[in-house]
């Protein structure tokens, strides 16, 4: 039976015949969750080569319509194998970007998520031949429009690729004229984050310096990919060792020495939170930076160990110990899911569910208080976004009451 708190919509039915299976579960006792890390993507936004470099077979199956009967047959024959969710994820990626946003909003409501931060990806420099169908500047405009249509619920970050000519100008335009709240960086797509790195050409390093200068001076938060997995440019970074060098937390030490007041979120907590006591683990590297710099954060997006039966207890025990005993990390951990990258296996409610076991106080800390500290430095709503909203018929005073109560300057 569908929960009375969630009315089925056409967008729900786009992905599953019986609306959301998550609707059958008990309503989330929390009503103020913030997802600091998710994505609004479809196939028009992503270079085909990104998929093909991971798995040419999977890319073909997900992209082509003739694969749908195969998923349906597999789901019927092997329901426990989650082929149905894979079919739903494929349908999602083939949808119009507004349908993707509607699906995210529906899943947010079912999971008790009030606010989400979509990270727009710039794939224009990922491949030499096969780029995205929709150019990045058009993508930025579309996501900006969606943030207005979902006022107060979706607050996007825009990706900067310093290899672009005048990347700083494009970034500032997105931040000041299109209403983006922060910056996404993804070094594994082809550059080292340190502006003094010899891996980069001089122009790329100049753009990096300009980006960090702007973000530090204007307190613009940055989220950077920080796990051994994820996307990378097969044309540029065929070496796994170099990809790790570009992505690992230690490669940001030089950046933070030069720009110590940056607000920066190291996404995925290195994907090895359970191994945080190992000094060679990426999570330990992130913690070392957090101990040295005041605005270093880390999120829990795509931490699949939290959702796998064989590792869930161990993961939550480790996370509980960190929150209980590590005062610095207690204030720096952010809740995120990485939707729709996780959608092949988990809906938003599925991802939230294990974290409910932390208890209301701890979940409020990592999924509400800390994300607000990162998203709104000094708990101030950014003037540049307020100007953008005003120019487009929206007022900061019309934000949800719970959010206005947390942002001190409005």
Q: What is the CATH number of the domain that holds 230?
A: 3.20.20.140
Asked if omega into 257 is within 30° of 0 (cis), the reply is no
- Roughly what angle, to the nearest 10 degrees, separates helices 167-177 and 383-391? 60
CA distance linking residue 159 with residue 357, whole number of Å: 33
d(CA 210, CA 235): 26
**Res 43: pLDDT:** 84
Q: Which domain does 36 fall in, by range?
A: 10-47+97-404
Q: Provide the pLDDT for residue 249.
A: 97
Q: What's the pLDDT score for residue 17?
A: 33
Asked if residue 382 is part of any domain, the answer here is: yes
pLDDT for 77 = 60
pLDDT tens figures, 351-406:
999 999 999 999 999 999 999 999 999 999 999 999 999 999 999 999 999 999 99
Give the number of domains in the chain: 1
When pLDDT is cut at 50, 70 and 90, the band that residue 123 belongs to is confident
Residue 235's pLDDT is: 58
- Is pLDDT of 262 > 50? yes
Average pLDDT, the chain: 85
Residue 91 has a pLDDT of 82
Is residue 65 one of the residues assigned to a domain?
no
**Amino acid 374: pLDDT:** 98
Long-range contacts (CB closer than 8 Å, 24 or more residues apart) made by 195-203 = 195/255, 195/258, 196/254, 196/258, 197/254, 199/242, 199/245, 199/246, 200/162, 203/165
Is it the case that residue 277 has pLDDT exceeding 90? yes
Q: Locate 344 and state its tokens.
A: 């092949």
Q: For the residues 158-176, what does the mean pLDDT come to?
A: 96
Q: Is residue 385 part of a domain?
A: yes
In a domain, 3, yes or no: no
Report if residue 70 sits inside a domain: no
Residue 136 lies in a domain: yes
pLDDT value, residue 133: 81
**Residue 270 confidence (pLDDT) above 70:** yes
pLDDT in tens, 69-103: 655 655 556 555 566 777 788 788 888 999 999 99
Q: What is the pLDDT of residue 48?
A: 58
Q: Are 318 and 325 in contact (CB under 8 A)?
A: no
| CA dihedral for 45, 50, 227, 300, sign (positive or negative) | positive
C-alpha 122/C-alpha 226 separation (Å) is 17
Predicted pLDDT at 47: 66
The reply to whether 72 falls in a domain is no
What does the pLDDT look like over 19-55, one tens digit per residue? 333 333 334 344 589 999 999 988 888 865 555 444 4
**Contact at 8 Å (CB) between 297 and 252?**
no
* 160-188 as b/e: b if 16+ CB within 10 A: bbbbbeebbebbbebbbebbbbbbbbbbb
**Percent of the chain surpassing pLDDT 70:** 80
| 61 within a domain of the structure (yes/no) | no
């Amino acid at each position: 039976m569908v929960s009375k708190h969630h009315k089925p919509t056409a967008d729900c039915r786009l992905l599953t015949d019986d609306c959301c299976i998550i609707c059958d579960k008990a309503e989330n006792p929390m009503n103020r969750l913030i997802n600091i890390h998710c994505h609004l993507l479809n196939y028009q936004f992503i270079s085909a080569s990104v998929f093909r470099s991971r798995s040419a077979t999977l890319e073909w199956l997900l992209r082509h319509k003739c694969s749908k009967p195969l998923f349906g047959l597999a789901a019927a024959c092997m329901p426990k194998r989650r082929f149905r969710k894979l079919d739903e994820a494929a349908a999602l990626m083939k949808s119009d970007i507004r349908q993707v946003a509607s699906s995210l909003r529906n899943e947010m409501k079912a999971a008790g998520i009030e606010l989400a931060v979509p990270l727009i990806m710039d794939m224009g420099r990922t491949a030499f031949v096969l780029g995205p169908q929709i150019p990045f500047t058009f993508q930025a405009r579309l996501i900006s429009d969606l943030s207005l249509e979902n006022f107060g619920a979706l607050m996007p970050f825009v990706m900067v690729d310093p290899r672009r000519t005048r990347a700083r100008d494009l970034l500032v335009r997105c931040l000041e004229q299109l209403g983006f709240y922060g910056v996404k960086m993804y070094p594994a797509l082809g550059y080292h984050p340190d502006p003094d790195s010899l891996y980069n050409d001089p122009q790329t390093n100049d753009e990096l310096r300009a980006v960090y200068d702007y973000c530090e001076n204007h307190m613009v938060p940055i989220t950077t990919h920080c796990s051994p997995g994820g996307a990378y440019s097969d044309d540029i970074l065929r070496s796994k060792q170099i990809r790790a060098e570009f992505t690992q937390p230690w490669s940001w030490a030089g950046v933070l020495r030069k720009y110590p007041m940056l607000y920066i979120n190291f996404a995925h907590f290195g994907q090895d939170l359970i191994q945080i006591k190992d000094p060679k683990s990426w999570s330990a590297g992130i913690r070392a930076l957090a101990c040295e710099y005041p605005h270093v954060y880390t999120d829990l997006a795509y931490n699949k160990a939290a959702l796998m039966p064989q590792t869930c207890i161990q993961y939550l025990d480790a996370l509980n110990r960190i929150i209980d005993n590590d005062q610095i990390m207690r204030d720096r951990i952010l809740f995120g899911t990485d939707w729709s990258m996780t959608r092949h296996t988990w809906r938003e409610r599925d991802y939230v569910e294990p974290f409910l076991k932390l208890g209301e106080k701890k979940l409020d800390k990592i999924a509400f208080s800390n994300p607000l500290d990162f998203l709104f430095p000094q708990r101030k709503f950014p003037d540049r976004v307020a100007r953008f909203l005003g120019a487009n018929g929206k007022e900061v005073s019309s934000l949800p009451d719970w959010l206005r109560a947390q942002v001190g300057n409005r």
